[in-house]
Structure 1
Amino acid sequence: MQQNDSMMRLDRFLSGESEMTRSEVKKKIKSGLVEVNGITALRPEQKINPSSDEILIGGKQVKAAGMVYLMLNKPQGVLSVTEDRRARTVLDLIAQPYARKLFPAGRLDKDTEGLLLLTNDGMLVHRLISPSRHVWKIYFAVVEGEMTKAHEDMFLGGMEIGEKHPTLPAVMRRLSIDGDFLWSIEKESGEGAGQRETEALPSGLSLRMRQICSESLTLGDYSRCGEGQSLCAVALREGKFHQVKRMFETVGGKVIFLKRLAIGSLTLDRELAPGAYRPLTARELRELYEEANTVRVEEP
């Protein structure tokens, strides 16, 4: 039986819509102070529908705040967490009263820039970051060392990076200094004829990567590349610890700059400077939800 996606745990809803912690909410429920549709709640894990159920604490109704969806261009030096006593977090960048109710959809390393979705929509976040759903993420990397077609093939075949299982097939494409894909230039000149995407990868992924690079990268991004370094775009559908950096290290490269450009259908707005954010458009949100609801679930 398929569960309604709008349902959520009672204690999670109440802690998100009040100043109480989850443990404080559980004490209220245990004391019989919480009602759902006129019936005293007995279990913190009770499922409720925030949009249709009437929830009371001590006789006062608790209503769900509207869902918020923000696109942030995360700068370097900021943590992708909701709270940290020693360093700035992504929520410190949000000058809105609802900021503390938001959380990031996944994480970026402290020294990584780029696209981060901030929201209070837990169901969407779960669908986007669940390891079993394999939502594609696209990155731009400046790498110390010369990357070749052989390295592209290594990404495509999956590789051992010290985890229990090898990485899933990923796509790495080298970029020229003017933003074009080197593999396509080689193909036009008769080289690289063996380069192809496997059945494990969606058709058109390379073209989407090329489009995203042209739409999201700035001249400042390209100018980060120096002598003896390579510009690369990477698409992967999992999120192992430091995965992009570790994959390049495995093939003899070292990432010196990393920027996420896309999560599924959501693409970083080039007009957003590092640290800036904006609400998702209706189209962006609709496409993101369509993708989150239709992506194929695979066994890890």
Structure 2
Amino acid sequence: MRLDQFVSQSTGMPRSEAVKVIRWGQVRVNGENITKTSTHIDPASEVLLDEEKIVLPGAIYLMLHKPAGVVSATEDTEHRTVLDLIDHPHRHTLHVVGRLDKDTTGLLLLTNDGDWSHRISAPKHHVPKTYLATLAWELSEAGAQALRAGVQLHGEKGLTKPAEVEILPEKQARVTISEGKYHQVKRMFAAVGNRVEALHRERIGGLVLDAELSSGEWRALLTQEHV
């Protein structure tokens, strides 16, 4: 892996800071001072920063209760990001597993394990995701049946895959989908003549948002939750 990536992930410092300490000659790899940030090294190498050994952290898996108004990104020049909510020494090594729209709330996962996030978010794996939608109007049984059968989204050629739909009181509906098309849930309800006023993700695969987490709070996943 690249040396600047190694230093960033080992220390939790932003990549830009890692670049600086390498260029300033503060990093030694297997006894050799290296100032080229793009140098590729074996992660098992002995790396010293200011003569102190640094090592890569283990895999990190976090669950966040995402609030509205925060973007699912690690960097944004205009808006607060979900990473700003994470008080973790290695937060700069994390990436978002399956984004949520800025105004959508609920379960969001972050990790530094690329293979794990790919298994969850890659479309070919069809991992189901469950959302609670607050609608402009009560969802009719005919609308629910259409969603269960698959609907035509604006700008798409084929139908959506069949969804699980539960009609709830107070203009709400719970829907489970196994695809990840752009703004899919909102577009699905639009296709049956309704409008999503608020959207909250409750579940990804077997992972359910911890009821103990208030909006904006996070916790590490338990071992049995990420295997």
Per the normalisation by structure 2, the TM-score is 0.79
2:192 is aligned to: 251
- Say yes or no: does 1:131 pair with 2:137: no
Q: One-letter code of the match for 1:152? A: A
1:74 is aligned to: 66
1:279 is aligned to: 220
1:219 is aligned to: none
Per the normalisation by structure 1, the TM-score is 0.61
Q: CA deviation at 1:165?
A: 3.9
Q: CA deviation at 1:10?
A: 5.0
- Is 2:148–2:165's contact at 8 Å kept on the other side of the alignment? no
- What CA distance in whole angstroms lies between the structure 1 residues aligned with 2:157 and 2:6? 36
The unaligned stretches of length 5 or more in structure 2 are 33-37
1:120 is aligned to: 112
- Say yes or no: does 1:54 pair with 2:16: no
RMSD: 3.1
Distance 1:21 1:97, change over 3 A: closer
Provide the secondary structure at the position in 1 that maps to 2:147: helix
Q: CA deviation at 1:257?
A: 0.9
Report 1:127-206 matches (<5 A). 127-177=119-169
The total of aligned residue pairs comes to 212
Q: One-letter code of the match for 1:157? A: A
Distance 1:153 1:47, change over 3 A: farther
Q: One-letter code of the match for 1:54? A: S
- Say yes or no: does 1:268 pair with 2:213: no
- What CA distance in whole angstroms lies between the structure 1 residues aligned with 2:225 and 2:182? 28
Q: CA deviation at 1:263?
A: 0.7
Aligned identity (percent) is 38
Q: One-letter code of the match for 2:216? A: G
- Is 1:140–1:232's contact at 8 Å kept on the other side of the alignment? yes
Q: One-letter code of the match for 2:173? A: C
Distance 1:237 1:167, change over 3 A: farther
Report 1:84-99 matches (<5 A). 84-99=76-91
For 1:122-172, what per-residue CA distance to the aligned partner results, in whole angstroms no more than 9, with x for missing partners?
A: 111111111111111110001112312222221122222134443432324
- What CA distance in whole angstroms lies between the structure 1 residues aligned with 2:154 and 2:8? 38
Distance 1:100 1:92, change over 3 A: same
For 1:28-60, what per-residue CA distance to the aligned partner results, in whole angstroms no more than 9, with x for missing partners?
A: 9xxxx9979x9xxxxx79896x5xx33658998
- What CA distance in whole angstroms lies between the structure 1 residues aligned with 2:123 and 2:48? 36
- Say yes or no: does 1:101 pair with 2:42: no
